Amino acid sequence: MPRITAPTVPEHRAAQRRAVLEAARALLVDDPGTEPTFGAIAERAGLARSSVYHYFGSRDELFLAVALDELPRWQRAVGDAMAAAPDAPARVLAYAAANIDLVASGDHAVVDALAAFSPRAFTDPQVAAMHRALAEPLVEALGECGLDDAPLLAELVDAVVHRASRAVTRGHDVDHVQERVRALLGPALRG
């Protein structure tokens, strides 16, 4: 019988599940081009391979859980950056900068790897709703800038952020990329 390492069985199960999620995330960050196996995840979490199946019945189920765990972190980081900005144009720039910084820090490697290894995870309604929620403050800030068609503009800002993020992952200096994004978006936001 396995040793319970928490005061209660439910707390133990929650801790073990968390350990599996963190192990999967760490492996995705450490080697984003390699799909982690349940064996590698179990080893990283300090569990037997068969134990992973107690918490996740399939790799798609596990990868969906990692995505659902990762997206709120991303939302908090972007939301905090936007909340610290003094006005609507600065909030749009903070949105772009925070997303690019997350990519530069390696956090986006998790999302990229999940999209490659389990594309169905990103069609899940919960993931889609979280992704839409990430864009809502951007749409709001663009509207406050007095710009028409804020939802379309948000998609265009995201396209700039996406391409800037790709430049960073290809080795461009993040500070230079950030400066170019500000130079591109700033004048349009201030009218």
**Mean pLDDT calculated for residue range 16-37:** 88
Summarize pLDDT for 131-169 with one digit per residue, the tens: 888 899 999 999 999 999 999 999 999 999 999 999 998
Instruction: Return the domain boundaries, the chain.
Output: 1-57, 58-190
Asked if 78 contacts 99 with a C-beta cutoff of 8 angstroms, the reply is yes
Per DSSP, the residues of 13-53 read: HHHHHHHHHHHHHHHHHH-TTSPPPHHHHHHHHTS-HHHHH
Q: How sure is the predictor about 4, in pLDDT bands with cuts at 50, 70 and 90?
A: low
Tell me, what's the pLDDT at 5?
A: 66
Tell me, what's the pLDDT at 89?
A: 97
Q: How sure is the predictor about 1, in pLDDT bands with cuts at 50, 70 and 90?
A: very low
Summarize pLDDT for 53-66 with one digit per residue, the tens: 989 988 888 888 88
Report CA dihedral (56, 58, 64, 69) to the nearest 10 degrees. 30
Tell me, what's the pLDDT at 191?
A: 61
CATH architecture of 1-57: Orthogonal Bundle (1.10)
Amino acid at position 45, single letter: A
Per DSSP, the residues of 82-140 read: HHTSSSHHHHHHHHHHHHHHHHHTTTHHHHHHHHHH-GGGGGSHHHHHHHHHHHHHHHH
Residue 95 CA to residue 125 CA, distance in Å, equals 23
Class for the domain spanning 58-190: mainly alpha
Residues in Cβ contact with 137 at an 8 Å cutoff, skipping those fewer than 6 apart: 78, 79, 82, 91, 95
Summarize pLDDT for 77-122 with one digit per residue, the tens: 999 999 999 999 999 999 999 999 998 887 677 777 777 777 777 7
Report CA dihedral (130, 101, 187, 133) to the nearest 10 degrees. 10
Q: How sure is the predictor about 6, in pLDDT bands with cuts at 50, 70 and 90?
A: low
